[in-house]
Amino acid sequence: MICMADEYQGKYKLLKPVFLIGFMGAGKTSVAQYLANVLGLASIDADEYLELMEDRVIADIFAEDGEDYFRDIETRHLEELAKRKLVRLIATGGGVIKRPANIEIMHSYGYTVYLGVTADEAAERIPNTESRPLFKNIDVARKTVLERMPLYEAAADAYVETTGRKVPDICREVALRLIDSGVLVKVS
């Protein structure tokens, strides 16, 4: 495994918000946390923020009010996070690309990194799908990945494959892509 710590220790800053996009289980939440810790960046998980603001877990929002309602509040909170003065690494929810307005928000304020994963590997990573109402089962997940693939691709400024790779290795590639694109810069 490639260890990021030695190469990347030090202070880095983001010049604009970075949005991690990709299917459920791609590792958006894990990669945002790991990268933020190693590089000393501010980060936030859009789903966790939404749950905090709404005082309900996502599974309950879907069960009580349905997906359209969830998507409306997802857009509202995404825009709010994108506009914040403190520039962050933002782990989005896997369905963020379903609304063109969300893609517009991410592109007008920041930079998107698409973390690719196969449905089969995502299912191995998240055997308990209770908190992810749209994962349902492997057949639905395979179909959803296929349907969403063109949306992720169209929305992506950069692409990093995660299948068969560990989080530190993925983070190293994400960091390199962000440095190459000029979005991530070293300050000391």
Ligand X SMILES: Nc1ncnc2c1ncn2[C@@H]1O[C@H](COP(=O)(O)OP(=O)(O)O)[C@@H](O)[C@H]1O
Ligand Y SMILES: O=C(O)C1=C[C@@H](OP(=O)(O)O)[C@@H](O)[C@H](O)C1
As annotated, the binding site for Mg(2+) includes 29
Is 14 a binder of ligand Y (CB under 6 A)?
Answer: no
d(CA 72, CA 14): 28
Question: In terms of CB distance, is 96 or 178 closer to ligand X?
Answer: 96
d(CA 158, CA 126): 25
Distance of CA 9 to CAs 44, 95, 172, Å?
A: 20, 33, 12
**What's the closest the beta carbon of residue 35 comes to ligand Y, in angstroms?**
15
- Spell out the residues 6+ positions from residue 84 whose beta carbon is closer than 8 angstroms to its own: 17
Question: In terms of CB distance, is 145 or 178 closer to ligand Y?
Answer: 145
- Determine whether 102 is exposed, middle or buried from the number of CB atoms within 10 Å of its CB (0-12, 13-18, 19+): buried
CA within 13 Å, CB half, 164: 1
Dmax (CA) of the chain: 49
Question: In terms of CB distance, is 113 or 178 closer to ligand X?
Answer: 113
**What's the closest the beta carbon of residue 9 comes to ligand Y, in angstroms?**
28
Q: What is the 3-state secondary structure (H, E, C) of 35-74?
A: HHHHHCCCEEEHHHHHHHHHCCCHHHHHHHHHHHHHHHHH
Binding-site residue positions: 25-30, 47, 71, 94, 132, 148, 165
Question: In terms of CB distance, is 9 or 163 closer to Mg ion?
Answer: 163
Query: Residues 14, 20, 24, 38: which binds ligand Y (CB under 6 A)?
Result: 24
Is 134 a binder of ligand Y (CB under 6 A)?
Answer: yes
**What's the closest the beta carbon of residue 154 comes to ligand Y, in angstroms?**
16
Question: In terms of CB distance, is 122 or 178 closer to Mg ion?
Answer: 122
Sign of CA dihedral 81, 82, 85, 88: positive
Is 17 a binder of ligand Y (CB under 6 A)?
Answer: no
Contact string 29-68 vs ligand Y (x = CB under 6 A): x-----------------x----------x----------
| Binding to ligand Y, residues 66-125 (CB under 6 A) | 93-95
Quick one: which H or E segment has residue 28?
A: helix 28-39
Q: Residues in the site for ligand Y, rule: CB under 6 A?
A: 24, 28-29, 47, 58, 93-95, 132-134
